[in-house]
Chain A
């Protein structure tokens, strides 16, 4: 099996790009992260992760959508690639399989 190199934070960012469906760029991804996970991260972390994801071929980007509120500068908009969605699905599938293997009494005995 080909191993998918995707860290935990990378996975979350990739999911965000997928959720934002073509509208994902630095700002929206950071805001969505803050909103949905409650994690406050520096902008650089997001920026670096997006570049890394693109190098791995999980997302692709293009420049566009200059607006006045950003001083007329263009944004780099990210879109998930087929490889990216495949990787996400693979992770999901693996988790699913592992959950299936969990003995049913585990959480009950743990008192959760």
Chain B
């Protein structure tokens, strides 16, 4: 029987189309009934209106969806039995696919380990000087100075600055200044050491910096002259377990006594200055010497909390201009204005303590070598990329292996599993894997840390990771990585249609191939760039090691600190050369390897006194040139038999060229220094040596002028012996017969030479490390992709084989796609790697060229590695019996 009144058909139609299926029947019925009711009680128009309104109210988005029984079942039955089943299946699958599981875990573990290592490094870099309780309120006064057209900026000022700042500015709570006197010889009884970390500071030092005392009183420790504070380690070095306070140490060859007034805890490694000993600046009489005179003082200010230091900076600049103006008038007889007009400049700025390590621009004048914010950025970027690549690879491999489990998915679905449950299962598996990877990664960090420390010169420990926040963060991070990486396979697999899956029809989307290809290109782009960089760095390093330096560094022994012998220095030298194992010996402060002092002085040719040539001066004795085996091109070496040689010079070829004396340099004269009476001294050129590298190949060879003169510091000894230990023992014995304040110490010229290129060597090691890691990770990505794409093509290769194709041609067919990707990567990487390495090489005055074969090599290497990786899959597909692949339909 039909009801006499029918609701409007189009509204009813809307309802049936848009209302959720599972409640449609009841709602349709209810509304129909209500319509009849309204029709009877208030007429057709009102009934239609109310019906319409009601229909709208049960359409999305207003309607609440009734949960299906399954969904209700799912939420209520997420119980331990199901979870246990998931875990069991997860372990079974992981065990069954041992290779892919371990590859997957190791890949992610490497990514995580790299990240953790870099995290440790970056954290350490950022933690510098934060051990000071008032770190945020401490500022260093630094100087911008341009003098005679050369940059002489530095973090140092004259001794008066500290006192002036304290007096003039009430907002400066404390001022302390430090002077570096490292290299002093310190003795106690019969033991003596060269102290490489000796600083002088005033008594306010401990008010500014937080350094805990073990013995002594920080308030009075450095107030008196000739007092000294030592660190725990130093106290042990000199006195063993005896109490150090009250003991007296003797400084230098004149044995100045210093009394120890305190022992402090060893300074943290992450400090921008280090000291083993801190002596009292009160030792020196304080006179008002000015801001620019004797600029050797690092000056630190303690400011009030939340004080804007920029404000003070401006005020200090005004004071400094006044003070410096007076000094310029006094020493150079010019005003600050004239000084600036000359092209020179002067300025003061404040450096926050916590930014000194990473941001300070004064490399050489710092108390300890600083870090570089650029490295922090680059490393963070590397960590980020590694993590992303590792995650995406993890995702790829998981998806690839999960495809094999499509039948399991089908069976589960048929048995009543819903999407959500399957997603949960796969997510759980991948989180499990990620946590396993984290554990492996932490193990790798533990094993790799000593090597990494050696590489970076740091003393990083795992202790940071024990911090609960970091530990929780790491686990949370791993879980997140697991969730992210597992989400794609989870959603992809869970969406399989059970019928299709059980029939064996799994289609892999062609669209996702593009994303994966992009990834492979990106990974190989990085790999190829890294290979190019590594090869170039290695070539440059080899070049520098083997390049002829212009002198002979073999079998040259350098005896250090011979100036400590004072007048006996030459006596010692004369005794040494008596030995039949020694050829020659030369006393000289200049060793032409590594850093020497950068004193460049202007010299002029006599006939052309207006044109100055900036030259380096070497003061040497007559044995210097033969000891180092330098080649005298023209003229002769210095000789004792010519008394006029004290007014003679030897030039290098560059100096000859710079002075414009190419034709006949011998006998020409240089204008030397002018004494107080205005009398000029002239120096006659007696010889020319061929150019030699006096620092490293980073610098261009500059003009050099050698004078005959006393220049103590080292004795260079040219030897010819196989019995080195005996020679060294006899040298030590002779050294000690003079009972100098310094211990006998020596080095070999070629060892020193290797030291100079330490930083390049480190760069090469870092590059090698990261390039092998990226190669490994890129291979993983490729492996995942190959597994993924080869599987659906088994039928294709089966057909090829049936039609007579050979195994190798099938391999070629399957590998072709990947070769294309790698060639794209090569094309992209070539210009960028070339540009990057060109920039790096620009830092060397003498460098290798970047040849095309490096790029070819990198490309071939990448292709070779890629083929090796891919061939595993494609050979498998090619060797497969076509019967097998074609039968299953």
Contacts and interface: CB of A to CB of B under 8 A. Distances in A.
Interface of A: 25-27, 30-31, 42-45, 47-48, 51-52, 54-55, 63, 66, 68-71, 73-76
Given A27-B37, A42-B53, A71 B28 contact: yes
Contacts of A76: 23, 26
Interface in B52-78: 53-54, 56-58, 62-67
Interface string B29-59: 1111110110000000000000001101110
Contacts of A66: 29
B25 interface: yes
Nearest to A47: B58
Contacts of B67: 55
A68 B3 contact: yes
B1 interface: yes
A73 B28 contact: yes
A9 B871 CA distance: 69
A79 B63 CA distance: 21
21 contacts: A27-B30, A27-B33, A31-B37, A42-B54, A42-B57, A43-B31, A43-B54, A44-B56, A45-B57, A47-B27, A47-B30, A51-B65, A51-B66, A52-B64, A54-B66, A70-B29, A71-B3, A71-B29, A71-B32, A73-B28, A76-B23
A38 B618 CA distance: 110
Interface residues of B, number: 27
B28 A47 contact: no
A80 to B, nearest CB: 18
A15 to B, nearest CB: 19
Contacts, number: 81
Nearest to B36: A69
B24 to A, nearest CB: 9
A71 B33 CA distance: 9
Contacts of B29: 66, 70-71, 73-75
B30 A43 contact: yes
Nearest to B31: A43
A75 B26 contact: yes
A83 B2 CA distance: 40
Contacts of A26: 26-27, 30, 34
Given A47-B57, A48-B64, A71-B28, 4 more contacts: A26-B27, A48-B62, A63-B25, A75-B30
Nearest to B53: A42
Nearest to A74: B25
Contacts of A25: 26, 30
B65 to A, nearest CB: 8
A44 B56 CA distance: 8
Contacts of B23: 47, 51, 76
Contacts of A44: 54, 56-58, 62-63
A73 B54 contact: no
A74 B57 CA distance: 21
A41 B26 CA distance: 18
A6 B36 CA distance: 32
Contacts of B26: 25-26, 63, 73-76
B58 A73 contact: no
B520 to A, nearest CB: 48
A51 B768 CA distance: 65
Residue from B1, B29, B37, B53 having most chain A Cβ neighbours under 10 A: B29
Complex A-B, nearest 8 residue pairs according to Cβ-Cβ distance, in ascending order: A44-B57, A73-B29, A26-B30, A43-B54, A70-B29, A42-B57, A48-B64, A76-B26
A43 B28 CA distance: 11
A47 B64 contact: yes
B30 A70 contact: yes
A31 B50 CA distance: 13
Contacts of A55: 67
A25 B34 CA distance: 12
Contacts of B58: 43-44, 47
A49 to B, nearest CB: 8
A8 B857 CA distance: 78
Contact of B34 (A27, A63, A73): A27
A51 B71 CA distance: 14
Contacts of B53: 42
B34 A48 contact: no
A66 B30 CA distance: 11
Nearest to B62: A44
Contacts of B30: 25-27, 43, 47, 70, 75
Contacts of B56: 42, 44
A95 B841 CA distance: 85
B844 to A, nearest CB: 74
A79 to B, nearest CB: 15
Contacts of A27: 30, 33-34, 37
A73 B34 CA distance: 13
Contacts of A51: 23, 64-66
A40 to B, nearest CB: 9
Contact of B1 (A45, A68, A74): A68
B57 A43 contact: yes
A69 B64 contact: no
A15 B539 CA distance: 88
Nearest to B3: A69
B66 A69 contact: no
A3 B122 CA distance: 50
Contact of B33 (A48, A63, A69): A69
Contacts of A74: 25-26, 29
Interface in B371-400: none
Q: Which of B26, B32, B54 has the most CB of A within 10 A?
A: B26
Residue of B30, B37, B58, B64 with highest tally of chain A CB at under 10 A: B30
A26 B66 CA distance: 14
A70 B34 CA distance: 9
A73 B28 CA distance: 8
Contacts of A42: 53-54, 56-57
